Structure 1
Amino acid sequence: MTNTTVTDTIHTNAEAGDVEAARTEAGGSTVAAYAAPAPKAPLERTTVPRRALGAHDILIDIAYAGICHSDIHQVAEDWGPGIFPMVPGHEIAGVVGEVGPEVTRWAVGDRVGVGCFVDSCRECDSCRAGLQQYCTGGSGAVFTYNAVGRDGAPTYGGYARQLVVDENYALRIPGALPLDVAAPLLCAGITLYSPLTRWGAGPGRKVAIVGLGGLGHLGVKIARAKGAEVTVLSQSLRKREDGLKLGAHDYRATSDPATFTELAGTFDLIVNTVSADLDLSGYLGLLRTDGTLVQVGAPEKPVSINAHALLVGRRSLAGSMIGGLPETQEMLDFCAEHGIGAEIELIRAEQINEAYDRVLASDVRYRFVIDTATI
């Protein structure tokens, strides 16, 4: 990712405990960003280092960055210790501003996106299969923020003006997709597209999406575009009108016990987008024989099921995490072809902390996107 001179400089300084200073010494720069200075702290404007362009790197002038619920989890250290200051953001859309001398995939002015990871080992079975998100080499995939890159320095995400990334880990955003509504596709969109594709959402298939939020609303759009019969399963009917406008054929309240009686044995596929502690055994009962419940939400606490809910009907419980590079590009092309973008509320950078509070209060329809020109 970097040339030998840069890498050696960084490692020398790493031994002295100053990897970030080495980036600047090696020809890197600083960029304006919004970061959490400590766990659970409000985000504030600051600057963070960006590495110098290596031979195969591109510099992206970020235009928009989506706010994902996982950003909030990581700032709060809900999933384990974080690296601070932390610049969140893995739903990144922008334009190539500069390219390294050996870049072949991109030119200045190209519209590009970056999702949840910016590197992987490139050699394990998963990477060779285009499933970089499941990389098993080394320490696994290098995530876009709150991780450590090959140079030993922390990665910083998309709540910033610019990003430097290896050319192979950027994705082409088709011209038919506005950059602001495309940004959330880089996480929320692929998180739903991948299981809907793998488990065969399409004509003649009945699909249920659990939860109509940042993930779920895109699941409805994508499943409908694939030709499936789509039902939203939500705690209440509060968003029913929205769900039907987005393409759902039916919308049911899971707080009503009759829902589980009337829809028993109905669905070929259920995708659960919520992170709440749900009775998964009850949802498994909504599946047809050989149906699958796919979990994409990440509850903080372990979940439990009644094994009989799996045995009866030869049902399956599966998990899915984002998508690899080839599938993410396929998703972007599919969304462009079908006119699918996220439903967004565009905000200024100084509204990030307010947006975090509103996400926690489920007060967003359906994705906050930061106009990074305001950083």
Structure 2
Amino acid sequence: MTEPKGEKIDHPNGACFNTTLPAPLPDEYKEVAWAIPSFDKATNQPKPIEPIWIARPNIGPNQVRFEMLYCGVCHSDTHCGNNDWGGCVYPFVGGHELLGKVTEIGEGVTKVKVGDLVGVGCMVDSCLKCQYCQNDEEQYCANGMTMTWNSPKTHGRVLGNPETYTHGGYSGSSVTHEHFIIKIPDSMDIQRAAPILCAGITLWDPIRYHGLVDGPKKVVGVAGLGGLGTMGVKFASTLGHKVVAISTSANKEFMAKEKGATGFVVTTDPYSLKANAGTMDIIFNTISANHDINTYLPLLKTGGTIVMLGGVAAPHTVYQMGLMFQRKTITGSLIGGVKATQEVIDFCSKHSIYPDIKLIRARELNDTWKALSEGKGDGVRFVIDVKASLEDESFLPK
């Protein structure tokens, strides 16, 4: 893959790049966004989020333009924007939980019409030809999916300047190929629906893959009770499974049980760990900070599985004998395809399942990122009220 044009900055997590956004091309329009403008070499950290202008593509065949109403703020936004994973291209516009209303459709669009509520999750393109795309798992595209933010435009369905990287939903509007558009039912609470497009599908896809939607009832552990984990608790309990919440803090027990858990494990309490050893069929591990996976493996039954879902960059050291003697499995999962994302939206609409949210304005993004980085979300997903943010003239680009 060709490196982006701009200043390459060496970084322990992998190089990042400071670039200059070009003026909009004739087939693009200027739009408001909120972005990390650059990586500051003097402080060795990204600069704070600020309002900027970006270019969005004009409508084209099979494209859908929508005004942004709400955009979720995901922990992955902070990981990428802070260059925790390496490869961040600045300016970086975060947001991959986009929810808006269709304002224009291109020739050939049949999925939605003007006025419809729509969503876009973590990806906006893939090859649509490989075995994974053909199997409705575009997130595993053999030729690489195009993420909603910080991705090169490789497959031809993201229009506009081919030399710029994708910009996320911290913005006034967006344009996306209809294949990657999710239809939002009119009956949904749209303020709370946006995080389902990442936090929801990230839990839903492994739940369906591991047979928990229609299969026999099991004991399901959920490790980490942030925005991801609480969705896992809600899904698994709604599907009729026994749910055991797992946390380092005993203070989260009431919250976990309020959301559907019937059991609770405190990993800092040896007695709690011993009392629950060998009791769980599967654990969904949503922890995004560095941690010791060996703390959680003894909770599994023989033949049990732990599914890694948090964006941890550091490698794990695993006690292999514990896996071998009890045939335990460590696996992973990444968001979900378009079909599965529509499925989870419809499931949430039917059962009135929503994340717990806190509405913010764009000017609060820096404080919000700080809270997420310090693990202070307490099970809440932050959501930008984009319309209210666009009315805040003091935090708009000049």
**TM-score normalised per structure 1:** 0.91
Q: Is the contact made by 1:346 and 1:369 (CA closer than 8 Å) also made in structure 2?
A: yes
Displacement of 1:361 in angstroms is 2.5
1:105 aligns with 2:116: no
After superposition, give the CA deviation of every residue in 1:268-313 in whole Å (9 maximum; x if it has no partner).
Answer: 1101000233322231211112211000012121111011121122
The percent of aligned pairs where both chains have the same amino acid is 39
Cα distance in 2 between the residues matched to 1:45 and 1:304 = 41
1-structure distance, mates of 2:335, 2:91: 25
Partner of 1:170 in structure 2? 181
Q: 2:87 aligns with which of 73, 81, 94?
A: 81
The question of whether the paired residues in 2 share the 8 Å contact of 1:194 and 1:323 is answered with yes
Q: Which amino acid aligns with 2:301?
A: R
Tell me the alpha carbon deviations over residues 11-44 of structure 1, each in whole angstroms, 9 at most, x when there is no partner. xxxxxx99844xx333210111101101321110
Matched-pair contact (CA < 8 Å) for 2:265–2:273:
no
Give the corresponding residue for 1:281: 294
Which of 38, 41, 44 is the aligned partner of 2:47? 41
> Among 186, 190, 193, which residue is 1:179 paired with?
190
- Residue 228 (structure 2) pairs with residue 215 (structure 1): yes
| 2:381 pairs with 1:367 | yes
Q: Which residue of 1 aligns with 2:151?
A: 147
Offset, 1:258: 1.4
Distance 1:200 1:289 in 2: 18
User: Where do 1:263-302 residues align within 5 Å?
Assistant: 263-302=276-315
Q: Secondary structure at the match of 2:53?
A: strand
Q: What is the CA-CA distance between 1:204 and the residue it aligns to? A: 2.6
2-side partners of 1:329 and 1:224: how far apart?
20
User: Equivalent residue for 1:63?
Assistant: 69
Partners of 2:375 and 2:83 lie apart in 1 by: 20
TM-score, normalised via structure 2 length: 0.86
Pick from 236, 245, 266 the counterpart of residue 249 of structure 2.
Answer: 236
Indicate if the aligned counterparts of 2:265 and 2:276 stay in contact, CA closer than 8 A.
no
The one-letter code matched in structure 2 to 1:367 is: R
1:164-195 Cα shifts (integer Å, max 9, x gaps) = 00011010112232111110000111001111
Matched, 1:259 2:263: no
> Whole-Å Cα distance in 1 between the matches of residues 149 and 345 of structure 2?
22
Take 1:33 and 1:111, find their aligned partners in 2: how far apart are those partners? 21
Counterpart position of 2:29: 29
CA distance in 1, matches of 2:276, 2:208: 23
2:339 to 308, 314, 326: 326
Say whether 1:201 aligns with 2:212. Answer: yes
Separation in structure 1 between the aligned mates of residue 33 and residue 242 of structure 2, nearest angstrom: 42
* Contact 2:267–2:295 (Cα < 8 Å) also in 1: no
Is the Cα–Cα contact under 8 Å of residues 201 and 341 in structure 2 kept in the other structure?
yes
User: The residue matched to 1:46 in structure 2 has which SS?
Assistant: strand
Contact 1:19 1:152 in 2 (8 A): no
Match of 2:121 in 1: 115
Question: Any unmatched runs of 5+ in structure 1?
Answer: 1-16
Out of 81, 87, 91, the position equivalent to 2:97 is 91
Secondary structure of the 1:136 match is coil
Q: Distance in 1 between matches of 2:284 and 2:80?
A: 23
How far did 1:201 drift?
2.8
Structure 1 residue identity aligned to 2:37 = P
Contact in 2 for aligned 1:177/1:341 (Cα 8 Å): no
CA deviation profile, 1:67-90 (whole Å, cap 9, x unmatched): 101111111111012111111000
Kindly indicate whether the alpha-carbon contact (under 8 Å) linking 2:266 and 2:273 is maintained by their aligned counterparts in 1: no
Whole-angstrom distance in 2 between the partners of 1:102 and 1:19: 31
Q: 1:72 aligns with which of 72, 78, 95?
A: 78
Q: What residue identity is the alignment partner of 2:26? A: A
| Structure 2 Cα separation of the partners of residues 370 and 19 of structure 1 | 24
Q: May I ask how many residue pairs the two structures share in their alignment?
A: 355
Q: Distance in 2 between matches of 1:243 and 1:226?
A: 16
Higher alpha-carbon deviation: 274-283 or 184-193 = 274-283
Asked whether 1:161 is paired with 2:165, we answer: no
Deviation at 1:220, TM superposition (A): 0.5
Distance across 2 between alignment mates of 1:316 and 1:359: 29
* Residues 292 and 318 in structure 1, CA contact (< 8 A), matched pair in contact too: yes
Q: Distance in 1 between matches of 2:59 and 2:294?
A: 50
In structure 2, relative to structure 1, the CA distance for the partners of 1:357 and 1:37 (3 Å cut) is same
- Distance in 1 between residues matched to 2:189 and 2:89, nearest whole Å: 32
Map 1:2-13 onto structure 2 (within 5 A).
none
Which one-letter code corresponds to 1:204 in the other structure?
Answer: K
Bigger CA drift: 361-370 or 300-309?
A: 361-370
Find the counterpart in structure 1 of residue 4 from structure 2: none
Structure 1, 279-288 or 252-261: larger mean CA deviation = 279-288
What CA distance in whole angstroms lies between the structure 2 residues aligned with 1:223 and 1:175? 25
**Equivalent position SS for 2:251:** coil
C-alpha distance in structure 2 between counterparts of 1:310 and 1:278, whole Å: 18
Give the conservation status (yes or no) of the 8 Å contact 2:133–2:141: yes
Bigger shift: residues 249-258 or 208-217: 249-258
Q: CA RMSD in A?
A: 1.5
Letter in structure 1 aligned against 2:187:
A
Question: Does the aligned pair in 1 maintain the 2:146–2:152 contact within 8 Å?
Answer: yes
Q: Distance in 2 between matches of 1:18 and 1:32?
A: 16
Counterpart for residue 360 of structure 2: 347
